Structure 1
Amino acid sequence: MVSARINIRWRAVVRHRWRLLAGCLLIALHQACEAVVPIVIGETVDLAVATGSPARLITWIGLLCGLYLLLTTAYRNGARQLMRALAEESHALRLEVAAKVLDPRAEVRTGDVLTISTTDADHASYLLDYVPRIVGALVATAVSAVGLCLISVPLGLVVLIGTPLVLIALQRAAPGITRRVATRQEVAGRASSLATDLVTGLRPLRGIGAQEAADARYREVSDESLRATLAAARTQGVFLAASNSVSTLLAGGIAILAGWFALTGRISPGELITVIGLAAFLTEPFGALSAAPSWIATARASADRIAELLGSTPAPPPTGTPPIRPAAGECLGVVAETDAATIVQLYDDGSPDVLVAPHHPELFSGTIRDNIVLAADHELAEALRASAADDVVRAHPEGLDHSIAERGSALSGGQRQRLALARALLARPKLLVLHDPTTAVDAVTEHAIARGIRDLRHGPGSGLGTLIVTTSPALLAVTDRVVVLRDGRIVATGTHASLAALDPAYRAAVLR
């Protein structure tokens, strides 16, 4: 579900309007000075060199040096303003993307996050560089056209008429480039997501012998990404080749026409030098204006992907109250025949007395100790035993100081579950809600964990409550009572043993 999209490009312009304005003015000044240089050189030839006047030669050379000092200063300060704006915008976009995907209700593929927060954020922010380059190119073209008109009206008209015609023709290719770039980024995101999922689940894949099928699937998506990349590159390459050719031909045509005018005596040697200099100089602004549709198309495609992510509306949290809460000191089992995940979310009310441990454990890069330690050492040892995570610690020579890769990708699913459970047990909340905490461990370990949870949280005099949403007989067997939910309503209650003996639906759901 997508709300009204944010106009990323317009917002970037508004957000950095003063730096962008300063950058545009300074870059425009730089380009105007660049265009004036051939004019000054031509005048130097006609008014100083041709007349043999040392004083005039010194004057015009001094003017040329001042011109170079001005254009260099303008460019350095303009580029500094624009690079600052570009860096701040790309950083701001990455922060917005990160804030969006950190919403626990957001449903975003990992690969999309990677490409959007890196490539797309950069391409979208490059708009702040493209705008002044286009403005500078237009100013350079206008100043050059005026200079050429002062020498020869036909030469000026070639620039004033030819440039818009070329830009209009090239602009027709922009939508195709936008589509190709958007497709490339979308497919690259899918490939990155799949690669991340495969690396994370490498151990289970090996365990079921599915690594060859996974490898084939990744090759398929990778090949699709390659084809999309090559298609986008071909489109952009053809466009750039055409635009460079046209701009070079236009500049070359001006030089050839000027040569003819010089041969027929219509312009002076100094004016010929000016025209040749301007023709050579115009290849740069012509090239920038010709490439502008490709630049804008790329920035637009990336901005649209960012806008789609930022404008997406996460799934609304479940509403209502939890159907049942354990009494103080009670270990309560819940068998949810439907919508178990939704039932678990109802308990996540932000209360400091309630901890909801999700079914999918989240680990971060660091050591085992960094991932679970929240209290003193003796409590840590108890939590490790109760969760059977002490086996994970003993499996590594470094023990608690063993390094864990991001998301625990080097650990098996069962090891990740046990470490996450140890962390939850160590927090000692008044109410701990667990959702299928043992689905990735073997039966022996599962029984040990069930008994460990019971012993750690529900010893004599304990006032702690534990609610376990599961269909595991081992976990349900250690609870004080079990509640069966259907569509959020209680349909049966009793001990695990009594329900297993008297309720056929319960037996079908939990006994395996």
Structure 2
Amino acid sequence: MRRGIRHVGRAIARQPGIFSLALTASSLFAVMTVASAYVIGGITERVVLPSFEDGDTSGAALTLAVVAIVAVAILRIIGIVGRRLLAGIMQYRLQADLRRQVTRQYLRLPLSWHQRHPTGQLLSNANSDVEAAWFFVAPLPFGIGAVVIILITGGAMVATDPLLALIGLVVFPLVFAINAFYSQVMGPRQQRAQQLRAEVSEIAHESFDAALVVKTLGREDSETQRFGARAEELRDGLVSVGRVRGLFDPMIESLPNLGTLAVLLVGAHRVVDGAIDVGELVSIAYLFTLLALPIRAIGWVLAELPRALAGYDRVTPVLEATGETPYGPDPAAAGDGGAGLGLQAVGYSFEGTDRPTVHDVTFDVPAGRTVAVVGPTGSGKSTLAGLLVRLVDPADGAVLLDGLDLRRLREGEVSDQAAFVAQQAFLFDDTVRGNITLGAPYSDDEVWTALRVAAADDFISALPDGLDTRVGERGASLSGGQRQRLALARAIVRRPRLLVLDDATSAVDPSVEARILDALRASEAPATVVVVAYRQATIALADEVVWFEQGRAVARGSHERLLAEVPGYVALVRAYSQAEGVPA
């Protein structure tokens, strides 16, 4: 309960203005609700009973009664509309703000943090957990405004007849006693349900993301069963939550009705004894029936708090996560053309592994040169590529750009100087232009220039709408080679001084690949290029080759030299050449 109250205070503190307006509207509804009891009691005493006694009533009395009822009703309507509208705005603002905080945190945290957390869980944190965290806000102004009804009603009942008030108000301790029990039972169930939501989302994301693999290997039934088993667990968890709520809600609903019956039974005897008159009994009974709604409103808030705390508890570790990429004070070296690259005893290990992925790597790449990094699968080439553009920081040694340690550069300097094209080309469900510029203010001329260097201008020109053609989610309407060329154009348009290609042209025809590398060299200010490659045609176009083996750079030289001196290099090149049907 204490944690729940703190969470309510957190919501109010984040949106104090809109909450004040919603609470004002709720208080107006509360006051008019109580006023309606007095209007009905007064009409009963001054209009209804005299009409039975005299057999007649005046038009003025009826008109006044109608005006009073309509006026109170209109003000209640204004309170209801204002309360609901403003409470909704408050809830959605809180959800939007928290979702932005979570996504900003995702972008701020380093790649190593993302590698430790499943994508489905991150999606659940940013979606269902955020929504659950503030779901109680919709009834919150009504619940707090209900306190106004309770205070006014309780005061009015005490002023009218203290004995009846005492009988009626015994309901409230029962409400909070029931809720204390409810919170203890519901909390773990809500936490489990939120966790299962994340796991269902995670499995669905994996299955959709790997749709090609699943279909190719005929594993649809297996994936369906895996998803179905977890979905059934989620169903059972939600049923368990529903059972508890199904027990709790009727108890809260019934308490005001039981109180009303007690008031009427005792009140009837009080009328007979002459302690109160009929009008006062009607007012008290009606006042007590009005307490049913605020008690339900308080119950709605209390019922949602366990789920809200479960959602917020799952989001909080994301907001409190540390390990963000530190930046230094230095600007990158000014200049056009390629940047000098140096590695000094660089080492890196993934968390949970004993053997370093990259170990004691030292070499340099002169500005404007093209170096091919070649090695067997699992030798650490992709990890090295990530280190060159600071996707991760080395555990040992340093990566230097124009003699400056990447960790000393200011935020944004590395991405301004270096570009990276990964093995898997990711395209957004956007236009060709949008996928290349990513919202940056590049002109169409600059985009077409990048497309020509990436050998993508011909097929883009043939698309129905050219640069305005939408490529579908993950570039579904394009071939693998076309996707790779668009990803390469995305990097080239930024005119990087260092371009790192992690097997980024593997799906491109060798002749097109040669055209791309020639265009990169022929530009006015050629970038320094580091390419992770396997093809002999690609390697032969490089100025120098670095042979990677078991996380270390064990040989370096020209393609011909390594063919003559490194048996592992010869075996790898021959294997790929034979696979492609090219003479070794």
TM-score category, normalised to shorter length? 0.7 to 0.9
Conserved 8 A contact 2:140-2:301: no
| Unpaired segments ≥5 residues, structure 1 | 1-6
CA 1:430–1:146 in 2, change beyond 3 Å: closer, same or farther?
closer
Which position in structure 2 is the counterpart of 1:95? 100
Conserved 8 A contact 2:168-2:288: no
Matched, 1:429 2:429: no
Amino acid at match of 1:226: R
Instruction: Report 1:309-348 matches (<5 A).
Output: 309-314=318-323, 316=325, 322-323=343-344, 324-335=363-374, 337-338=379-380, 340-341=382-383, 343-348=385-390
Distance in 2 between residues matched to 1:222 and 1:43, nearest whole Å: 58
CA 1:59–1:313 in 2, change beyond 3 Å: closer, same or farther?
same
What is the deviation of 1:418? 4.2
What is the deviation of 1:446? 5.9
Matched, 1:134 2:134: no
CA 1:305–1:509 in 2, change beyond 3 Å: closer, same or farther?
farther
Distance in 2 between residues matched to 1:128 and 1:67, nearest whole Å: 27
Which position in structure 2 is the counterpart of 1:451? 514
Higher relative contact order (CA 8 A, sep 6+): 1
1:132-181 deviation digits (Å, cap 9, x = unpaired): 22222222223222333334323211233321222122222124323323
Greater Cα shift, 94-103 or 478-487: 478-487
2:504 is paired with a residue whose SS is coil
What is the deviation of 1:301? 2.1
**Aligned to 1:503, which of 557, 561, 566?**
566
What is the deviation of 1:357? 1.8
Distance in 2 between residues matched to 1:256 and 1:473, nearest whole Å: 97
What is the deviation of 1:467? 0.2
Instruction: Report 1:36-51 matches (<5 A).
Output: 36-47=35-46, 49-50=48-49
Which position in structure 1 is the counterpart of 2:300? 291
Amino acid at match of 1:327: P
Matched, 1:255 2:297: no
CA 1:41–1:309 in 2, change beyond 3 Å: closer, same or farther?
same
What is the deviation of 1:264? 5.5
1:172 is paired with a residue whose SS is helix
Distance in 1 between residues matched to 2:381 and 2:293, nearest whole Å: 63
Which position in structure 2 is the counterpart of 1:86? 91
CA 1:276–1:458 in 2, change beyond 3 Å: closer, same or farther?
same
Conserved 8 A contact 1:111-1:188: no
What is the deviation of 1:432? 1.0
Distance in 2 between residues matched to 1:315 and 1:287, nearest whole Å: 45
Distance in 2 between residues matched to 1:494 and 1:122, nearest whole Å: 57
Matched, 1:359 2:358: no
Amino acid at match of 2:209: T
Greater Cα shift, 60-69 or 80-89: 60-69
Conserved 8 A contact 1:347-1:356: yes
1:85-113 deviation digits (Å, cap 9, x = unpaired): 33322222232223223346352544445
Conserved 8 A contact 2:373-2:381: no
Instruction: Report 1:211-290 matches (<5 A).
Output: 211-262=220-271, 265-290=274-299
Conserved 8 A contact 1:357-1:433: yes
Conserved 8 A contact 1:371-1:423: yes
Amino acid at match of 2:471: I
Instruction: Report 1:463-482 matches (<5 A).
Output: 463-470=526-533, 475-482=538-545
CA 1:476–1:299 in 2, change beyond 3 Å: closer, same or farther?
same
Which position in structure 1 is the counterpart of 2:546? 483
TM-score by length of 2: 0.72
What is the deviation of 1:351? 5.0
Instruction: Report 1:104-183 matches (<5 A).
Output: 105=111, 107=114, 109-183=118-192
Matched, 1:407 2:474: yes
Distance in 2 between residues matched to 1:508 and 1:252, nearest whole Å: 92
CA 1:490–1:80 in 2, change beyond 3 Å: closer, same or farther?
same
Which position in structure 1 is the counterpart of 2:486? 419
Amino acid at match of 2:39: V
What is the deviation of 1:450? 4.3
Conserved 8 A contact 1:39-1:147: no
Distance in 1 between residues matched to 2:32 and 2:554, nearest whole Å: 83
Which position in structure 1 is the counterpart of 2:317? 308
Conserved 8 A contact 1:334-1:468: yes
Matched, 1:203 2:212: yes
Distance in 2 between residues matched to 1:73 and 1:376, nearest whole Å: 55
What is the deviation of 1:449? 5.3
Conserved 8 A contact 2:367-2:527: yes
1:239-262 deviation digits (Å, cap 9, x = unpaired): 223322334333343334434544
CA RMSD of aligned residues (A): 3.8
What is the deviation of 1:364? 1.0
What is the deviation of 1:331? 1.5
Distance in 2 between residues matched to 1:158 and 1:470, nearest whole Å: 84
What is the deviation of 1:34? 0.7
Conserved 8 A contact 1:145-1:157: no
Amino acid at match of 1:16: Q
1:385-422 deviation digits (Å, cap 9, x = unpaired): 6xxx967997x777766532233356666654343234
Greater Cα shift, 90-99 or 346-355: 346-355
Percent of residue pairs identical: 25
Amino acid at match of 2:451: L
1:366 is paired with a residue whose SS is coil
CA 1:508–1:217 in 2, change beyond 3 Å: closer, same or farther?
farther
Distance in 2 between residues matched to 1:33 and 1:413, nearest whole Å: 67
TM-score by length of 1: 0.81
Conserved 8 A contact 1:8-1:304: no
Distance in 2 between residues matched to 1:481 and 1:86, nearest whole Å: 59
1:253 is paired with a residue whose SS is helix
Conserved 8 A contact 2:189-2:240: yes
Conserved 8 A contact 2:447-2:493: no
Which position in structure 2 is the counterpart of 1:33? 32
| Unpaired segments ≥5 residues, structure 2 | 1-5, 52-56, 329-340, 345-362, 391-412, 438-443, 576-584
1:170 is paired with a residue whose SS is helix
Amino acid at match of 1:417: Q
Conserved 8 A contact 2:544-2:557: yes
How many pairs does the alignment contain?
498
Amino acid at match of 1:276: A
Matched, 1:20 2:43: no
1:20-43 deviation digits (Å, cap 9, x = unpaired): 234324413421331232233223
Distance in 2 between residues matched to 1:18 and 1:463, nearest whole Å: 56
2:514 is paired with a residue whose SS is helix
Conserved 8 A contact 1:39-1:274: yes
CA 1:10–1:498 in 2, change beyond 3 Å: closer, same or farther?
farther
Which position in structure 1 is the counterpart of 2:408? none
